[in-house]
């Protein structure tokens, strides 16, 4: 198990290295740091000096190592657009995105899981049929359409929630949070629902399918034949079997969530990483794009690793013999 | 004779269809005395499993019980609410499933499955349940019971899993155990051990048993009495010895000849009954066996023969074999 864990961690690091290299190539081949960092009237000598200082005369590999070295020491390069450090720009946007992801995860769990259970345990009830009907909308409507619809209804028509921004934020030693103010919560609700729409329907459908399948299985029949209560049968005996594939699939959906967060942040002008990415793409701000890619890749890989390493807690089949 | 533990009268099960219900079990009646082993035999599809499942009300739609009464020690099981029925399952009637590979929950430990079952039915504390679970694992002949207790099903072999299934069926100390083909899914080498184990536990605990099998060899070893099913009907019932030596119904005799046995010259012979059993909804008029029966007459094709009592045994046949042997 320990060998397995270490192996998976090394594997993750390797993938991150490859992502970093791709991002580096992006910067090295598409960027024109001289044109941006020097005034147009700069002399040839000044250009030479900057080339030497930035190490642009070095071979690619040396420059990549230099790039990695810089990242490990918190130097993520300079934005072409704002001339600010990329690290600081990302750090400033990070809380908004994390809070949005967090609230949408809450929505997913507190809406998706109970409804999924209802649909799996009582597939023919009126509630289940209604939920399944509505969930078709969640699967088929593109993310931005959901966002625009919510804005049209709840912001424009009813005026309950704002249609853009984070509301009032509080600075907690570098972390600006919107979760401590009423207007912050009002502002986060619509984007969080938009971002969660796909996952909620996904969780409902996954859990339903899994529970229906497990419900037919021989071991559940045997559990019933031993007189276990329906509660025990569904919540301890069937749920454990159904949850595992659901979590796996949800983790594999993480790529979608990241993509959707860009769209959602765009629709709601949410000042997070996603809209930073959009702005950077519009102004060809290569260093920011590159670091964003590395960052997203790292988050994606780490969450996947975390999910995978936590399986054995849920499934005793994986607890032994996988060293 | 003591009062029967289980009395099944005219048990009928149908397969619900929008057009019409197809009969799966047709007025099956039998008794099981306390501590008795009743064997249920018949070809595949005869309705053996349905009989067992219907007793504990575990039929899944579109199958449905359409009539008959089931009485367990004076209590009408067919009238219980689902909640009351859940108190009967496991506690008063244990059920052993056929396939040990799929009968155990793959993500829960053996110990958890055992203690959950006991704590549902018996007033035992967590630690008592644990002790009893380990003692059941010991009694079912599992080596290193403490390890098995903590193990997940996938860590055990098929034979070991079936021992666990047996422990699970018996752990709440039921008066009756329904064992549906308890050895069919196992290696031949393990089958004999498993039968011996069932036999031993039956003698130790004194539970009555309904042993479902298509193997007359198993019946001969295990059962006190036998009931033979054909196309959803009970066609013969007798004490095992009487049934094996002097079957009355031609189908029973055919079944026995279809079991490999040495003939006078010592050569193994199998004589299969010609034709095949009708599927559900396809039973012919009269005696369902008549298209395959060498003794069939006109009356057999017209009216179904009743299950006629003949000196402690019964057969549904107009022209039974071994008539002359009857007192
Ligand atoms: N869910 C179902 N839907 C339709 N028909 C069914 C269903 N379950 C069982 N049957 C039919 O009911 C009849 C009786 O089935 P049962 O399982 O009792 O047979 P069995 O005697 O136990 O046979 P086997 O030796 O194969 O286990 C069979 O003809 C079978 O095809
Ligand atoms: S009733 Fe007739 S057809 Fe049926 S088994 Fe007896 S002899 Fe054969
Ligand atoms: Mg069967």
The answer to which of A112-126, A308-322, B53-67, B239-253 has the lowest mean pLDDT is A308-322
Residue ID of nearest Cα to ligand 2 atom 3: B290
Q: Which of B230, B263, B278 is the last residue of a domain?
A: B230
Atom nearest to B288 CA in ligand 2: 4
Q: Is B12 within 8 Å of B68 (Cβ atoms)?
A: yes
Between CA A188 and CA A192 the distance in angstroms is 6
Does A12 fall in a domain? yes
Instruction: List chain A residues with CB under 8 Å of B109.
Output: 316
In chain B, what residues touch A219 (CB-CB under 8 Å)? 102-106
Domain containing A322: what range? 1-79+285-323
**CA gap A169, A96 in Å, rounded:** 10
Quickly state the pLDDT bin for A23 (edges 50, 70, 90): confident
**Total domain count for chain A?**
2
Shared domain check, B249 and B226? no
Q: Is residue B80 part of a domain?
A: yes
What's B214's domain CATH number? Answer: 3.40.50.300
Count other C-beta atoms under 10 Å from residue B155's C-beta: 18
Q: Do A226 and B168 touch (CB under 8 A)?
A: yes
Could you give the number of structural domains in chain B?
2
Task: Please check whether residue B284 is in contact with residue B293, taking contact to mean a CB–CB distance below 8 angstroms.
Answer: no
B254 C-beta closer than 6 A to ligand 2: no
Contact A221 B121 (CB under 8 A): no
CA B263 – ligand 2 centroid, Å: 26
Segment B154-173 mean pLDDT: 91
**Gap from A300 CA to chain B (nearest CA, Å):** 27
Task: Pick the residue whose CA is nearest to atom 24 on ligand 1.
Answer: B44
Asked if residue A279 belongs to a domain, the reply is no
Domain that holds residue B258: 245-327
Q: Which pLDDT belongs to residue A319?
A: 62
Does A118 touch chain B if contact means CB atoms closer than 8 Å? Answer: no
Distance CA B53, CA B49 (A): 6
Q: In terms of domains, do B321 and B219 share one?
A: no
Q: B199, B230, B261 — which closes off a domain? A: B230
**Predicted confidence (pLDDT) at residue B266 exceeds the cutoff of 80:** no
Assigned domain for B238 exists: no
* Domain match, A305 and A165 both: no
Domain end point (choices B230, B264, B283): B230
Do B279 and B183 lie in a common domain?
A: no
A174-183, B9-18, B194-203: the lowest-pLDDT one: A174-183
Which pLDDT score is estimated for A86? 78
Ligand 1 pocket residue status of B45, Cβ below 6 Å: yes
B222 and B101 inside one domain? yes
Do both A314 and A209 map to the same domain?
Answer: no
* Claim to verify: residue B189 and residue B87 sit in the same structural domain: yes
Which pLDDT band, with edges at 50, 70 and 90, does A316 fall under? low
Instruction: Judge if B256 and B150 occupy the same domain.
Output: no
Residues bordering ligand 3, an ion, CB closer than 5 Å: B 49
Cα-Cα-Cα-Cα torsion A77, A81, A87, A88, nearest 10 degrees, comes to: 140
Q: Are residues B154 and B279 in the same domain?
A: no
DSSP secondary structure code for residue A125 in this structure? S
The predicted model scores a pTM of: 0.80
- Which residues are CB-contacts of B91 (< 8 A; sequence separation ≥ 6)? A227, B120, B121, B172, B173, B174
In a mutational test of the A interface, the residue from B97, B107, B122 whose CB has the highest number of chain A CBs within 10 Å is B107
Distance between alpha carbon B302 and the CA centroid of its chain, in Å? 31
Q: CA of A229: which chain B residue's CA is closest?
A: B86
Determine, yes or no, domain membership for B240.
no
CA of residue A226 to ligand 3 center, whole Å: 19
Looking at the structure, do residues A259 and A215 belong to the same domain, yes or no?
A: yes
- Under DSSP, the state recorded for B290 is G
| CATH at A180 | 1.10.3720.10
Q: Are residues A109 and A191 in the same domain?
A: yes
Residues B275 and B205 in one domain: no
pLDDT, residue B215, reads: 87
Residue corresponding to tokens 């907690």: A172
Please indicate, yes or no, whether residues A192 and A321 belong to a single structural domain of this protein.
no
What pLDDT digit, counting tens, does each position of A260-310 carry? 888 888 888 888 888 888 888 887 777 788 888 888 888 888 888 887 887
Give me the pLDDT at residue A323, please.
32
Q: Do B102 and A226 touch (CB under 8 A)?
A: no
* Within-domain flag for B235: no
B193 and B317 within one domain: no
């Amino acid at each position: 198990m320990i060998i397995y864990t270490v192996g998976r961690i090394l594997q993750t690091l390797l993938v991150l290295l490859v992502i970093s290299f791709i991002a580096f190539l992006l910067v090295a081949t598409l960027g024109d740091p001289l044109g941006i960092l020097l005034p147009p009237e700069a002399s040839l000598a000044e250009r030479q000096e900057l080339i030497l200082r930035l190490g642009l005369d070095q071979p690619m590999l040396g420059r990549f190592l230099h790039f990695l070295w810089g990242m490990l020491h918190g130097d993520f390069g300079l934005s072409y657009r704002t001339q600010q450090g990329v690290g600081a720009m990302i750090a400033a946007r990070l809380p908004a995105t994390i809070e949005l992801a967090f609230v949408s995860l809450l929505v997913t769990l507190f809406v998706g899981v109970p409804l999924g259970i209802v649909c799996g345990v009582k597939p023919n009830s009126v509630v289940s049929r209604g939920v399944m009907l509505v969930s078709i909308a969640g699967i088929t409507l593109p993310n931005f359409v959901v966002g625009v619809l919510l804005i049209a209804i709840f912001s424009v028509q009813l005026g309950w929630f704002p249609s853009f921004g984070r509301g009032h934020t509080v600075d907690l030693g570098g972390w600006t949070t919107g979760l401590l103010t009423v207007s912050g919560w009002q502002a986060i609700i619509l984007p969080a629902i938009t971002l969660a729409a796909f996952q909620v329907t996904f969780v409902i459908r996954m859990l339903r399918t899994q529970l229906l399948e497990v419900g037919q299985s021989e071991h559940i029949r045997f559990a019933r034949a031993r007189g276990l209560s329906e509660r025990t049968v569904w919540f301890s005996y069937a749920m454990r079997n159904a949850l595992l594939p659901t979590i796996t699939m949800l983790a594999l959906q993480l790529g979608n969530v990241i993509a959707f967060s860009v769209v959602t942040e765009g629709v709601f002008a949410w000042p997070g990483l996603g809209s930073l990415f959009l702005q950077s793409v519009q102004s060809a701000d290569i260093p920011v794009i590159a670091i964003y890619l590395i960052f997203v890749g790292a988050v994606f890989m780490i969450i996947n690793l975390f999910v995978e390493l936590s399986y054995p807690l849920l499934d005793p089949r994986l607890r032994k013999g996988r060293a | 004779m003591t009062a029967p533990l289980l009395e099944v009268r005219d048990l009928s099960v149908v397969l619900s269809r929008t057009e019409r219900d197809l009969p799966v079990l047709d007025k099956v009646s039998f008794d099981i005395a306390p501590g008795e082993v009743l064997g249920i035999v018949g070809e595949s599809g005869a309705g053996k499993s349905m009989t067992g499942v219907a007793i504990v009300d575990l039929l899944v739609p579109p199958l449905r019980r359409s009539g008959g009464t089931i009485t367990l020690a004076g209590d009408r099981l067919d009238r219980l609410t689902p909640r009351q029925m859940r108190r009967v399952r496991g506690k008063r009637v244990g059920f052993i499933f056929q396939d040990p590979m799929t009968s155990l929950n793959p993500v829960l430990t053996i110990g958890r499955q055992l203690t959950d079952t006991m704590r549902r039915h018996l007033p035992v504390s967590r630690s008592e349940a644990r002790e009893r679970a380990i003692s059941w694992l010991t009694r079912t002949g599992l080596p290193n019971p403490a390890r098995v207790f903590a193990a997940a099903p996938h860590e055990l072999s098929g034979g070991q899993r079936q021992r666990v299934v047996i422990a699970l069926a018996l752990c709440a100390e039921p008066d009756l155990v329904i064992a549906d083909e308890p050895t069919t899914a196992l290696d031949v080498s393990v089958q004999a051990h498993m039968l011996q184990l069932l036999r031993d536990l039956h003698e130790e605990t004194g539970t009555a048993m309904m042993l479902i099998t298509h193997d007359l060899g198993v019946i001969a070893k295990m059962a006190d009495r036998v009931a033979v099913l054909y196309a959803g009907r009970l066609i013969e019932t007798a004490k095992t010895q009487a049934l094996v030596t002097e079957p009355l119904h031609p189908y029973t005799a055919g079944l026995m000849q279809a079991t490999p046995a040495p003939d006078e010259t010592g050569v193994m012979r199998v004589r299969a009954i010609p034709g095949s059993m009708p599927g559900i909804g396809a039973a012919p008029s009269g005696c369902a066996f008549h298209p395959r029966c060498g003794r069939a007459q006109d009356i057999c094709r017209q009216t179904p023969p009743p299950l006629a009592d003949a000196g402690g045994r019964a057969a549904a046949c107009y022209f039974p074999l071994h008539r002359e042997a009857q007192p």
